[in-house]
A and B are shown apart, each in its own frame.
Chain A
Amino acid sequence: MTETLRTEALSKSFGSVHAAQSVSLTVQASEVVGLLGPNGAGKTTILRMVAGILAPDEGRVLLKGVNLEDYPLSTKRLIGFQSGDTQLYRRLTAREALVYFGRLYGMDEATLQARVEELIGLLEMKSFADQQCGTLSSGQKQRANIARAFLHRPELLVLDEPTAALDVISGQFIVETIRRERAAGRAILFSTHIMGEAEYLCDRIALLHQGRVVDYGRLDELLERSGCTNLTDAFLKNIGHTGRPGDVQ
């Protein structure tokens, strides 16, 4: 298998808050790696560093062996980033937004137009592709966003809680899209706090707590190491929490 992403001891602090501490991960092609952790565990910070949006204080991000900090423009072309709270420009139509980002990624006009049409069909966006994004529903916006992240055929998809705030149907649509992209050979790093989603999608899972990776491996490995029968219990055990109200880890 080809290693698409490697993070080496990534650390990031905001003042006295250590959002990420020495995080090392790898993601192979055709693999989904999930970052699992509660709110404030550092998932978003790690994904932003991987996507080149935030510069790490220490450590480095290698995409196909190339340091992102040294060659930001070429390495960013390999990444498709999408976050649950990412919005699209409300006064552009979904189609215009896709064309805009395609140009920013340096796609030539003919390829771009064909790819936009392909994604509009693939993600069932025909009915709203020419509506301004400000008028779309949450599910429609998320599809348009996914289309934007997939547009330039990135080798690595970085998805930050992509199903957050979506209804069951829209959420399932996104999950199936991720599976399809994995089958197409993409490496996928995604974060979630929904255990079922992680179990269903991820080839490997990194359990995060207070900016640190507390365990990392396949689901069966995590369960075996924790001695638990499900991911929720394994996670709670790893962070020293019983799950009862008032229990402090």
Chain B
Amino acid sequence: MRLNMVRTIAVKELREALRDRRTLFIMVGIPILMYPLMLIGMSKLEESQEAAQKARVSRVAVWGDSTSTLLERLARNKDKLEPLVWEGVPADIREKLTKGLVKAPPPLPLALDDIDPEKRPKPNLEDPVVKAAQGVILNRQADAVLVLWPQFSANVQSGAAGTASIFYDSVRPESHKARDRVSDELRQWREDVRTSREQNQKLATGFILGVDIQTQDIAPPKRKSGMILGMILPYMLISFSVLGGFYAAIDMTAGEKERGTMQTLLCAPLESLEIITGKFLAVWGITIITTVINLISLATTFARIRFIPGMQMSISMSSLLLTFLLLLPITFMVTAVFLAVGAFAKDFKEGQSYLMPVFMVLIIPIFFTMSPGIELNRYLAFVPVVNISLLIRQIFLSEWKPDLLFLALLSAFCYASLTLVFAARVFERNNLLLGGKENIHGILDFSRRPGAKPTPGLSIFLFAASLVLLFYGSLALENRGIVALLLVTEFIFILGPALALSSSKGFNLAETFSLHRPGWRGMAAGLCIGVSAWTIAAGVLVRLLPPPESLIKALEKILLLEKDSAPIWQVVLLVAVGPALCEEMFFRGFIQSGFRRLGMWPAIVATGFLFGLMHSSIYRLMPTFFLGVMFGYAVWRTRSVLVGILCHALNNGLMIGLARSHDLAHKLGLGGAQFVPWHIVVAGALVLVVGLWLLRYENPVPAVSASRAA
């Protein structure tokens, strides 16, 4: 793939897209207009409703015992509350209430009257008094009805409890307000009654109350605003951001077909990968610009609004940057999906009808994440779209964890890679790009081809698919013990897919997996690297990002097979030899073969990076990446995966030795030390240099020409 060609295509596509008013409107117009319109509009509406309700006098019908002094109290605040005695009451109900022919409802369970209105028993809507009150409220004769049940005054005066019911309509804000006002007055009046009783009986203040229960919300305003932001923002940000690329993707695929420009591109001396990459970068670029404009518009909008009285909404720069980082893989994935699906459409209109359902399928899961009860965990961290949506919420709540962030980004990278590989396959089908038909089977095409070799796309596909399989598989095997977990994950989830894909495509196994016999120098180099590389990984790289204690314990648990008593041969086979065999065949075998055409260092670094990612922890990324690069270089120079297996097995074997033997750890100066001491690092580095020097005399595999590749 020639980067200058990719850039030429991407720049041209961007230039064309930025001259399209429709794309410009979605990219710039929507974010600039929508956030202020939706958020400021909503908050202003809420504020004005609140103000209108405050200014309005609540009209409350009071039925029942009209002799109570409570009535005077209610009439005290004329600008807030207007008690309407017997307003709207049917004659029979008035008679029953006056003559005491109806009974007050039973008292509520302890404290529920104050604490949780939602948990209160529902009123019996068939009760004639309730029915009558309901009629008055629904007919807007009053905002609420206060019923003072028979014997209310008498009971209060005699030292018992009088029963008062407030009926209101929770759907109508003014009815809600009336309830609050009446309720407040009643509480204050009750407090007066309580105090006067204590004074009359010469009881201590608080005698009747007994315990003063105080509940206080400790969530700081930032957290409260974070919760609100976190519920609505993922949806808005993700949908508005990916929408930026929606029309551009259709325009660059179905639109090009419709206008007859696709074939001019196809007859140019370009690889299909260059075309899709150029178009992809252009659409992704537009999506990223849209995302940035969304975030800027959002930040400026939120600086000016209040959702909750007294609460200023604001978004910190770090939250914005992290959110932007999270939106990158999701926009990456959606862009690839849009381009791949758009290529199936014959014209722009068909493109819209294809992409709209895809857009909906991607967006709908975000609705579920709006529920406050759903939180990001290890299972959801690998669910596409949902993971990013939940993480954005955690960022606004300032409670994100680096490991889950890493996992979510890793999974997003996997899904994005899978979709991009699929999009690239679609763009290899010229017949489809010229308006012909192709089925999915033809596009995926896992058929054998003589002389075929793994490609970078196939390597990324294998890695991404295996990682998703490995992640969910290992979660399912969590309770089966470490032995089963190691055996199944290494041989079935790692080695299995590589062998299956290789044999299904008819690849030459010896070439694909570098199954050549190494010379003595290669083996000696492997020996040196295997015993020394860990010192740099554990002595230098771990210092840059020290792992938490929980991760160290978890790794020790694996190295010891959960207990110190496991036979050493079993531990070595399961933790050193097995993983070395499976992971080296997978990475330095298949994956590195696929990247071979990119040249030595790009292939080794890319393979090492994927090897680091496979360890699924941000703390292990750098050390395992370094080890992967070392092993990859050894395999590249010796053309033998056996050298990689030797390095890997020695590395893991040493870790087992250190975990099991406290003597060995003490002799190396590691007993109780947080990091590997510098003298060990220096000694290790010297041995490593010897290993690398020995590799210089090996004959590496020549890079395969891209134009001749299968």
Contact = CB atoms under 8 A, between A and B. Distances in A.
B264 A86 contact: yes
Size class of B's contact patch? Answer: 20 to 34
Contacts of B431: 14, 54
A55 interface: yes
A52 interface: yes
A193 interface: no
A79 interface: yes
Interface stretch (B12-20, B467-475, B490-498): B12-20
A105 B268 contact: yes
A86 B431 CA distance: 16
Contact of A105 (B15, B263, B269, B430): B269
B267 interface: yes
A86 B263 contact: yes
B430 A103 contact: no
Contact of B261 (A70, A88, A105): A88
A77 B268 CA distance: 7
Contacts of A85: 260
Contacts of B264: 81, 86, 88, 101, 148
B259 A53 contact: no
A52 to B, nearest CB: 6
A92 B15 contact: yes
Nearest to B16: A91
A72 interface: yes
A71 B705 CA distance: 11
A76 B430 CA distance: 15
Interface string B694-710: 00000000000001100
A83 B20 CA distance: 26
Interface string B17-33: 00110000000000000
A126 interface: no
A114 interface: no
Nearest to B266: A53
B5 interface: yes
Contacts of B270: 73, 104
B447 to A, nearest CB: 15
Contacts of A54: 430-431, 434
A146 interface: no
Contacts of A88: 261, 264
B260 A87 contact: yes
Interface residues of A, number: 35
A241 interface: no
Interface string A39-73: 00000000010011111000000000000001111
B599 interface: no
B436 interface: yes
Given A55-B430, A70-B708, A71-B707, A87 B261 contact: yes
A37 B685 CA distance: 74
A55 to B, nearest CB: 7
B382 to A, nearest CB: 38
B268 to A, nearest CB: 4
A173 interface: no
Contacts of A48: 263, 434
Interface string B671-702: 00000000000000000000000000000000
Nearest to B11: A100
Contacts of B434: 48, 53-54
Most buried by A among B261, B266, B268: B268
Contact of B263 (A53, A72, A89): A53
B261 A106 contact: no
B8 A91 contact: no
A180 interface: no
Contacts of A100: 8, 12
A83 B265 CA distance: 13
A21 to B, nearest CB: 17
A87 B259 contact: yes
A229 interface: no
A91 B259 CA distance: 12
A86 B262 CA distance: 8
Contact of A81 (B15, B16, B267): B267
Contacts of B267: 51-53, 76, 79, 81, 158
Nearest to A77: B269
Nearest to B12: A100
Given A14-B436, A54-B431, A70-B708, A86 B261 contact: yes
A105 B267 CA distance: 10
B271 interface: yes
Interface in A71-119: 71-74, 76-77, 79, 81, 83, 85-92, 96, 100-101, 103-106
A196 B264 CA distance: 28
B19 A76 contact: no
Contacts of B259: 87, 89-90
Contacts of A86: 260-261, 263-264
Nearest to B436: A14
A73 B269 CA distance: 5
A79 B270 CA distance: 13
Contact of B12 (A74, A83, A92): A92
Interface in B239-265: 259-261, 263-265
A104 B268 contact: yes
Contacts of A74: 269, 707
24 contacts: A14-B431, A48-B263, A48-B434, A51-B267, A52-B266, A52-B267, A53-B266, A53-B267, A54-B430, A73-B270, A74-B707, A79-B267, A87-B259, A89-B12, A91-B20, A92-B15, A92-B16, A100-B12, A103-B8, A104-B5, A104-B9, A104-B265, A105-B268, A148-B264
Given A14-B431, A71-B707, 17 more contacts: A48-B434, A53-B430, A54-B430, A54-B434, A73-B707, A74-B269, A89-B16, A89-B261, A91-B16, A96-B15, A103-B4, A103-B8, A104-B5, A104-B8, A104-B9, A104-B268, A104-B269
Top 9 A-B residue pairs of the complex, sorted by shortest distance between their CB atoms = A76-B269, A81-B267, A91-B19, A87-B260, A51-B267, A104-B268, A73-B269, A53-B266, A91-B16
